[in-house]
Amino acid sequence: MKKKLTSLGLAVVAGAMLVAGCGSSSSGNSTGNSSGGTSNAASTSGNTTSSASSSGGQKVIGVTLMTLTNPYFATMGRALKKYGAQHNFKVVVEGANMSQSQMLQQVDSFIEQHVAAVIMAPPDASAAVSAVTALNKANIPVFTIDTNVDTTALKSAGGKIVEFVGSNNFQAGVIAGQEMAQYLNDKGDIGIVDFKTAQSVQTRDKGFFSVIDKYPGIKVVSDLNGEGSTPGGLKAASEMLAANPNIKAIFDINGPSGLGAVQAIKAANKVGKVAVIGLSGSQAAVQAVGNNSVFKFGAMQEPGLESQVEMNNIANYLAGKQVPPQVLTKIIKIDKQDAAKYASIAYH
């Protein structure tokens, strides 16, 4: 099974990427409908027919997150274990180090163990389809968290997930777009530190552009891959600043890449000339917004809340209860005035 799944995954990674649509603009701990068809996960309820492995009488839940070096996903992993323990689950958390092939290997291991369920946060929305269909064939229910698979490609492949739980990423992009327009007074060149293979980021980008496109004076002059990390954000922002000296602000798609952009701005001696605006849920990013020298505004996610909702619904599903196909959690707007208030709930 391992060789077969891994080779299939690598073939998909090498293929052309399909672009996922945007998520719902609803907020709160409630089900939402996708605005553009990205998160219409197939709803599968009732008793699972999986013959789940167990550890000392505990059902085992396999978790593969895109990385554990990002504090967001590290916090999510800890929270999944915490809330899983409340349901007497043994939760095994793996990090894929931003590698889809590594995630496929982890999924293969979960299939061999025949775990009770698998939670995925894939680094590549399109390539993850092969992992989901393999789990479907093994009769193991699949749940996604924070970032979904490409559901259009999944439907074409005949695959399904039970539920997607994530932040309202479209609304996060909208908030960042509104903050950007406010900061620039509706005019100026901007750059984007991006990570387009992740479905969550595709959705944030769509929310951002739904606002920015209304302002013809705001022009995106550079859109580079920051790999969702601080080193990646530093590299991408450094390159865009060098090539585009008139950039006034940078939109970052997560806290780590935003902090990398802050470093690049400082290194280029452009503090006070270039701002960072975007996702800012980490403690370091929230503190940077409070400092307000470079990171001017932000939008916060709550990975612990996503984890709680996901694990509660897995418990319900395995108990034969119906669960919603999608749950979106709220986004918190962060600015200088309220940064200190939210620092205590920021992830780290």
pLDDT in tens, 266-280: 999 999 999 999 999
The whole-number pLDDT of residue 45 equals 35
The full DSSP string for 66-123 is S-SSSHHHHHHHHHHHHHHHTTTEEEEEEE-TT-HHHHHHHHHHHHHHT-SEEEEE-S
Domain 170-301+335-345 in the same topology as domain 2-166+303-329: yes
Compute the distance between CA of residue 201 and CA of residue 204 in angstroms, rounded to an integer: 5
Residue 174 DSSP class: H
Nearest 5 degrees, angle CA 35-CA 37-CA 43? Answer: 110
**Exposed/middle/buried for residue 246 (C-beta within 10 Å: 0-12, 13-18, 19+):** exposed
Gyration radius of the chain's alpha carbons: 20
Compute the distance between CA of residue 318 and CA of residue 308 in angstroms, rounded to an integer: 16
Tell the CATH topology of 2-166+303-329.
Answer: Rossmann fold (3.40.50)
Q: What are the sequence ranges of the domains in the chain?
A: 2-166+303-329, 170-301+335-345
**Token pair recorded at residue 10:** 């690598």
The whole-number pLDDT of residue 44 equals 35
pLDDT-above-70 percentage for the chain: 84
pLDDT in tens, 302-336: 999 999 999 999 999 999 999 999 999 999 999 99
pLDDT in tens, 154-209: 999 999 999 999 999 999 999 999 999 999 999 999 999 999 999 999 999 999 99
- Asked whether residue 236 carries a pLDDT value surpassing 60, the answer given is yes
Q: In this predicted structure, which of 15-19, 221-225, 251-255, 329-333 has the lowest mean pLDDT?
A: 15-19
**Token pair recorded at residue 188:** 């100026």
Within 10 A of 173 (CB to CB), how many other CB atoms are there?
A: 31
Residue 254 DSSP class: S
**pTM for the whole structure:** 0.82
How large is the angle between the packed helices 2-14 and 129-137, nearest 10 degrees?
A: 150
C-alpha distances (whole Å) from 22 to each of 17, 150, 151, 228, 322 are 16, 11, 11, 19, 25
Compute the distance between CA of residue 32 and CA of residue 160 in angstroms, rounded to an integer: 18
pLDDT in tens, 17-63: 322 333 333 333 333 333 333 333 333 333 333 445 565 679 999 99
CA neighbor of 326 nearest in space, from 131, 91, 203, 161: 161
Mean pLDDT for all residues in the chain = 87
The whole-number pLDDT of residue 348 equals 82
Nearest 5 degrees, angle CA 149-CA 153-CA 154? Answer: 60
pLDDT band at 6 (very low <50, low <70, confident <90, very high): very low
Mean pLDDT of 289-307: 96
The whole-number pLDDT of residue 7 equals 38
The whole-number pLDDT of residue 52 equals 52
With tokens 């995954």, the residue in question is 9
pLDDT-above-90 percentage for the chain: 81
Residues 6 or more apart in contact with residue 90 via CB below 8 angstroms: 54, 55, 56, 58, 59, 60, 61, 84
How large is the angle between the packed helices 169-184 and 199-212, nearest 10 degrees?
A: 40
Tell the CATH topology of 170-301+335-345.
Answer: Rossmann fold (3.40.50)
Compute the distance between CA of residue 176 and CA of residue 192 in angstroms, rounded to an integer: 12
C-alpha distances (whole Å) from 187 to each of 171, 209, 246, 251, 303 are 22, 14, 12, 15, 34
Residue 345 DSSP class: G
Compute the distance between CA of residue 231 and CA of residue 174 in angstroms, rounded to an integer: 26
pLDDT in tens, 76-96: 999 999 999 999 999 999 999
The whole-number pLDDT of residue 161 equals 98
